[in-house]
Amino acid sequence: MYRRLALALTLVSTTTAYADRHSDEGEPPADDQVVVVNASGDNPGQVERIHRVLDQRRMLFHVNESLEATLEGRTVLTTDLELIRHAYASADFTTALKIIEEDEKRLMQRGGADLTTSLSTLAGWRGLIAAADDKDDESLRQFRAAVRMNPAYQIDKKLPSPKVRAIILKAHREVDATGVLKTTVDPDDARVAVDGGDSKQAGEKLKLPVGLHLVQISAQQRKSHAEIVDIDDAKPVRIDVLLDPESLADKAVKLVDESAAAPSGAARLDRARALSKLVGANRLLFVEGASDDGVKVRLYDISLKKISKSMTLDGNESSAAIASQIKSALDPESSVDVNTVVIGHGGEPEHDDARWYNHWYIWAGAAVVVGGALVAYGYESRDPTMIKGF
């Protein structure tokens, strides 16, 4: 499920977890291995390909199974869009809604920076299905929710009928009727955000337009809570919640989002320190963007405070070719001291003259859209497709 366009590949975890899965003697030192982390949810197939290559070459250092899945984006976010499309085209609305409901549950359980965008896309599908089922009022409710969660929401112009386009146009006009949301949260310092907007102190009465809204409740060192509420003008909607302690997976989601949102270079290295500490890793191989040629990755060495040059890994290349590029990045001699790196737009160090060593190195930061984390999950037997719109 979600938009999200920066990917990450990290490294390492507990020695015990690794030993359980790789007990052979003669393993490479931990600093020669990486663990894959999907920060954006983009190109999950490419990330899985890199994961397999690293694992086959014993360059992958595993964290425990559930945390590894979270870091790689395999447990949440993204829906099997093709299955939804197929069910919708076949007028099998029951199946389509079942897939959507499962995706919504997984997304809200995971949380993350891309939650509003992903749920907006799912609400859009609900709107399409309702319109096709001649439930125009429900269609308007869903499309209005999609716009609230993502003001930039749009739909493929080739897909909807004139009736649906008219409903979507109406959905961009907010209703005048309002209702009240009341929250009672433990701990007392929790914050509440509605539809991805600014957070407010929990416990305050919030006046909201009637209809569907995404409510997210968060607090330091606690697992975030998310749910969709239906506000009406008859009586207040109440949410009473006790936030659970933050798990490793919950913390990883937040740290991956923070690292992915930071600009490429020194800023990202600084943000990635906490993620590195969480998984027990010194090196992070971030997938920083995508192109027609493949995914762009850059290695961040936390302990040495160095970063590598940007590389493009093509999932269609041989495993030997992919492994060779990553091994080259692991060589400290191929990286640059982060204290000499300035974020720029050229992509590689500038060498204006023979005295290039007097210049700052300037690296391009690939645009990062967090998405997720989209976490992909299997539905039936088919591979999931990430949600990026219609």
pLDDT in tens, 188-218: 999 999 999 999 999 989 999 999 999 999 9
Q: How many other C-beta atoms lie within 10 A of the C-beta of residue 143?
A: 28
Q: What's the whole-number mean pLDDT along residues 326-344?
A: 71
Q: How many other C-beta atoms lie within 10 A of the C-beta of residue 208?
A: 17
pLDDT at residue number 91: 94
Greater pLDDT, 330 or 95? 95
Each residue's pLDDT tens digit, 239-275: 999 999 998 888 888 888 888 888 888 888 898 899 8
Per-residue pLDDT band for 30 (boundaries 50, 70, 90) equals low
Q: What's the whole-number mean pLDDT along residues 349-353?
A: 35
> Do 386 and 376 meet the contact criterion of CB atoms below 8 Å apart?
yes
Asked which of 30-39, 131-140, 189-198, 233-242 is least confident by mean pLDDT, the reply is 30-39
Asked which of 75-79, 100-104, 327-331 is least confident by mean pLDDT, the reply is 75-79
Backbone CA torsion sign across 328, 52, 266, 6: positive
pLDDT at residue number 6: 36
Per-residue pLDDT band for 43 (boundaries 50, 70, 90) equals low
pLDDT at residue number 284: 83
Q: How far apart are CA 4 and CA 368, in angstroms?
A: 8
pLDDT at residue number 76: 47
Per-residue pLDDT band for 224 (boundaries 50, 70, 90) equals very high
Q: For the whole prediction, is pTM greater than 0.85? A: no
Spell out the domain ranges in the chain: 1-173+248-390, 178-242
pLDDT at residue number 281: 79
* Average of per-residue pLDDT values in the chain: 77
Cis before 162 (ω within 30): no
Counting Cα atoms < 13 Å in the Cβ hemisphere of 318 gives 3
Q: How far apart are CA 281 and CA 19, in angstroms?
A: 15
pLDDT at residue number 39: 63
Q: How far apart are CA 9 and CA 300, in angstroms?
A: 10
pLDDT higher than 80, residue 86: yes
Asked which of 65-74, 148-157, 248-257 is least confident by mean pLDDT, the reply is 65-74
pLDDT at residue number 348: 42
Greater pLDDT, 109 or 16? 109
pLDDT at residue number 357: 27
Q: What's the whole-number mean pLDDT along residues 341-352?
A: 40
Task: Give me the percent of the chain exceeding a pLDDT of 70.
Answer: 75
- List the alpha helices (DSSP H) in the chain: 15-21, 44-56, 65-72, 81-89, 93-110, 115-132, 136-149, 162-171, 248-261, 266-279, 319-330
Q: What's the whole-number mean pLDDT along residues 19-42?
A: 58
pLDDT at residue number 74: 63
Greater pLDDT, 189 or 25? 189
CATH architecture of 178-242: Sandwich (2.60)
> Do 250 and 352 meet the contact criterion of CB atoms below 8 Å apart?
no
